[in-house]
A and B are shown apart, each in its own frame.
Chain A
């Protein structure tokens, strides 16, 4: 599983990923998307909202269930992915690319894991 995880990203124990750019891009991992099944609705914060690392900032809903989305970082949301709002299935088909969720101007990181560390937690 670790071999399929992009090594340019960092991860949280709650299955979010962040990249190394500024502002950071945030998404959820294929592990999470696969466990959820077909995603039918994504609820995201709005541009301009402040977010706190570890706090609930939205919801990812599949045909069967709903999971909370936690912020991996503290900062201010600068953009949300309207394409995913319009077509939630992008999170299933391309969770690390077109399925990105939001971009944040970061003031502080929460606890982050390397691809190897996240992969070890999710074999």
Chain B
């Protein structure tokens, strides 16, 4: 058999150790991953850890204890100035002037026709300062889009790319708070409100702190469906923070976790992945995320605020959808994968009714799970369908998303 990811030819442009393209960027934590024995993979032009030990063990650790993720490949873009909020209201679909200081918001940037360019988390660090976090695969296009949309508006806003200088490390799992509270060197800084600590930090909020004297933005956000904290820190400070988190978490069962576990965790949590559930041919509404589009946002005078994609999305919000994103519970043993057909039944003549966007075995639930776009007629909860798994029709059932919710 041919193992996945094995380079079929050892190209002279490949790193002789890893086989990765020589043009791949390296995380500031690269040496840590190598020392931990990670299997590295090329992802969005970065060499990132796919797994350290076992996908299942890392996934399970996040659901039961804590996992430590290197997300330094993601893009961090500062949007600052007196008109930063007003600019983002016009450039993105969400209401960013309404976001409180030290809050965070999941939002999207779309094209004029409403197609999604990227999904984002935006953190408001001050009245006139926002941090926009983009997917690694869309960093360049999001940066260019924000710059283009700021140009010629007369708004007093500056867009600054901080990605290369910024590392991002995430602790996710039910023991995440215990790990963070055990972290020596994490202290309040000049910008830390006196009454907020990691323990009291609300979900989708952020807190400027210090780690060993270095500024760090601590956010209670994540992509796993568990409690967790994300740390934005200068790249030079990343190795110290990474090692300190592993040490602080040793008694709590922390393990380093790679991109494979990250994908199976977010799938169980029903979270979209750009390139799978979201792309330029999908609107936020198609993915069941119409709530992020704030058609009701107004400008300083209270007038409806024109934002890129507004007209197309207003029309989309009123119209019957051509397709619906659903969750599919696998009733057989084989997992459907991205791109597989959804069919009306296991009969060989059953017609195609949709396409799988993401799919994998669910370690937590013990059966395959998938997300798929299907025609509205077959999208009702409980509807029994099938997926074509490489020629075999496996039965599935439409279930609500998410597949997994953490116990509260």
Contacts and interface: CB of A to CB of B under 8 A. Distances in A.
A70 B56 CA distance: 26
B3 A63 contact: no
A16 B360 contact: no
Chain B interface size band reads 20 to 34
A32 B3 CA distance: 5
Given A35-B6, A41-B334, A63 B55 contact: yes
B264 interface: yes
B187 interface: no
B1 A69 contact: yes
Contact of A32 (B1, B55, B263, B337): B1
Contact of B1 (A37, A40, A41, A67): A67
Contacts of A61: 334-335
A93 B256 CA distance: 21
Contact of A15 (B3, B5, B390): B3
Contacts of B318: none
B4 A63 contact: no
A63 B56 contact: yes
B265 to A, nearest CB: 11
A68 interface: yes
Given A40-B361, A41-B333, A41-B334, A64 B1 contact: no
B55 A14 contact: no
Interface in A49-87: 59-70
A116 interface: no
B260 interface: yes
Contacts of A37: 39, 50-51, 54-55, 260
B333 A67 contact: no
B319 interface: no
Interface residues of A, number: 26
B1 A62 contact: no
B390 A66 contact: yes
Contact of A35 (B3, B56, B264, B363): B3
Given A32-B3, A41-B361, 17 more contacts: A15-B3, A31-B3, A32-B1, A35-B39, A36-B3, A37-B51, A37-B54, A60-B1, A63-B55, A63-B260, A64-B263, A65-B4, A66-B390, A67-B3, A68-B1, A70-B1, A92-B54
23 contacts: A14-B1, A14-B2, A15-B1, A15-B3, A28-B1, A31-B3, A35-B3, A35-B39, A37-B39, A37-B54, A38-B55, A40-B361, A41-B335, A41-B361, A59-B390, A60-B1, A61-B335, A63-B264, A63-B363, A66-B390, A67-B4, A69-B1, A92-B54
A64 B4 contact: yes
Contacts of B360: 63-64
Given A61-B335, A63-B260, A38 B54 contact: yes
Contact of B2 (A62, A63, A68, A92): A68
